[in-house]
C-alpha cells in the first residue's frame, strides 16, 4: 500500500478539522486553537489502495511568520515536507483565502485546493468557475462541503493524481509564478542566482520563496541566509532591489509584493467568479 503524506493548510474556520474528522473517522472537537497550544493532529484514511497520513495544521491567514501559528505551519511545510498539501478554502471568502494559496505557490508546494463551503456559495447564488480558477492558479481545485463529506472522494482522487504526476494531473497542475512586477522579479532572480550556488539550499528550499521572504524582511529567513557563505552578496542584492522598488513605486517591497498578489487574485476572480445573475455556469459536486 502506497503512503501519501498530506497536510491541511488554510485560514481558521474554513473546514480543515471537519475534513480531518470525516476522512480519518476521528472525533476531534471542531473549534479554534485559541488558548490551545499550537500543535498538529494526525490521522489516516484509506482510498483507492492508498494510505493517506493526514496532518491537521492550525489555521493561518498567511505564511509571513507574524504569529506562532504561521511560523509553526511554515516549519511543518519545510521540515516535514508533506507530499501534497490540501489547501482548504472558504469559497464564500475567496479573495482573502486565496492569499495564502499564492504564498504556497511561492513555496513551490504540490497541492490541491478544496473549495469548501461550496453549499454556502450555491445558497447565495454565486458562481465559481472552478475549472477556470484552477487553470489560472495552476492548481487542481475541487468543490467540497466538508460538513457532510461531499467532494471528499474527488479530492482524494486529485491528490493521487498530483502525487503520481499522471497526465491528467499535469493538465491541471503546472507551477506558475505570480508576477510581482518588474523590479521585484528582477531582484528575485538576482537573489536566487546566489542562493542556487548552495547545493543543500537549492535542494531543500524553493529559492524563489526564500528570495521573496528576504524582500519582505522575514526575520526567520534572514537569519537562515546570514549563515550562508554568499550572505553579503545576497543582502546587497536584496537592498538594491528594495531601493529600486521604492524609487519606482514609492512602496516598500513587502507592500509591493502583497499588492501584486492581490492584483493576481483580483484578475483571476474577475475571470472565474461571478456574482448572482451575471452568468450561468454549471457545477457538480461528486460524492
Ligand atoms: P477549521 O478551523 O478550518 O478546522 O474549520 P472547522 O472544521 O472547525 O469548521 C468551522 C465551521 O464550519 C464548523 O462549524 C463546521 O461545521 C463548518 N463547516 C465546515 N465545512 C463546511 C461546509 O462545507 N459548509 C458549511 N456550511 N459549513 C461547514
Ligand atoms: Mg480546526
Ligand atoms: K466577478
| Residue 11 known to bind ligand | yes
- Quote the cell numbers at residue 86: 490540501
CA-closest residue to ligand 1 atom 12: 15
ipTM: 0.96
pTM score of the predicted model: 0.91
Do 266 and 95 meet the contact criterion of CB atoms below 8 Å apart? yes
Cβ–ligand 1 distance for 153 under 6 Å, the answer no
CA-to-CA dists, residue 287 to 18, 25, 99, 137, 150, angstroms: 16, 17, 28, 24, 5
Q: Which residue do the cell numbers 522598488 mark? A: 245
CA-closest residue to ligand 1 atom 24: 117
| Residue 8 known to bind ligand | no
Question: For every one of its 287 residues, what pLDDT tens digit does the chain have, with 9 covering 90 and above?
Answer: 899 999 999 999 999 999 999 999 876 665 555 544 567 789 999 999 999 999 999 999 999 877 888 989 998 998 889 999 999 999 999 999 999 999 999 999 999 999 999 999 999 888 899 999 999 999 999 999 999 999 999 999 999 999 998 777 666 678 899 999 999 999 999 999 999 998 888 888 899 999 999 999 999 999 999 999 999 999 999 999 999 999 998 999 999 999 999 999 999 999 997 665 444 443 434 43
Amino acid at each position: 500500500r502506497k503512503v501519501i503524506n498530506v497536510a491541511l493548510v488554510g485560514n481558521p474556520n474554513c473546514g480543515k478539522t471537519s475534513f480531518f474528522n470525516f476522512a480519518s473517522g476521528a472525533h476531534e472537537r471542531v473549534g479554534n486553537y485559541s488558548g490551545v497550544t499550537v500543535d498538529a493532529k494526525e490521522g489516516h484514511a484509506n482510498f483507492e489502495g492508498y494510505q493517506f497520513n493526514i496532518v491537521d495544521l492550525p489555521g493561518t491567514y498567511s505564511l509571513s511568520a507574524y504569529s506562532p501559528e504561521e511560523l509553526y505551519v511554515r516549519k511543518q511545510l519545510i521540515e516535514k515536507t508533506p507530499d501534497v498539501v490540501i489547501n482548504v478554502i472558504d469559497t464564500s471568502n475567496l479573495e482573502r483565502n486565496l492569499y495564502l494559496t499564492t504564498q504556497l505557490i511561492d513555496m513551490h508546494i504540490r497541492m490541491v485546493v478544496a473549495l469548501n463551503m461550496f453549499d454556502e456559495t450555491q445558497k447565495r447564488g454565486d458562481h465559481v468557475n472552478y475549472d477556470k480558477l484552477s487553470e489560472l492558479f495552476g492548481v487542481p481545485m475541487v468543490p467540497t462541503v466538508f460538513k457532510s463529506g461531499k467532494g471528499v472522494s474527488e479530492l482524494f482522487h486529485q491528490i493521487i493524481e498530483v502525487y503520481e504526476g499522471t497526465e491528467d494531473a499535469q493538465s491541471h497542475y503546472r507551477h506558475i509564478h505570480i508576477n510581482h512586477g518588474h523590479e521585484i522579479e528582477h531582484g528575485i532572480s538576482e537573489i536566487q542566482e546566489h542562493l542556487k550556488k548552495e547545493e543543500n539550499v537549492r535542494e531543500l528550499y524553493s529559492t524563489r520563496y526564500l528570495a521573496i521572504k528576504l524582500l519582505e524582511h522575514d526575520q526567520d529567513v534572514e537569519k537562515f541566509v546570514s549563515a550562508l557563505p554568499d550572505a553579503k552578496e545576497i543582502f546587497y542584492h536584496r537592498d538594491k532591489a528594495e531601493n529600486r522598488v521604492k524609487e519606482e513605486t514609492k512602496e516598500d517591497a513587502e507592500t509591493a509584493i502583497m499588492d501584486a498578489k492581490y492584483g493576481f487574485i483580483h484578475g483571476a476572480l474577475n475571470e472565474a467568479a461571478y456574482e448572482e445573475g451575471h452568468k450561468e455556469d454549471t457545477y457538480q459536486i461528486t460524492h
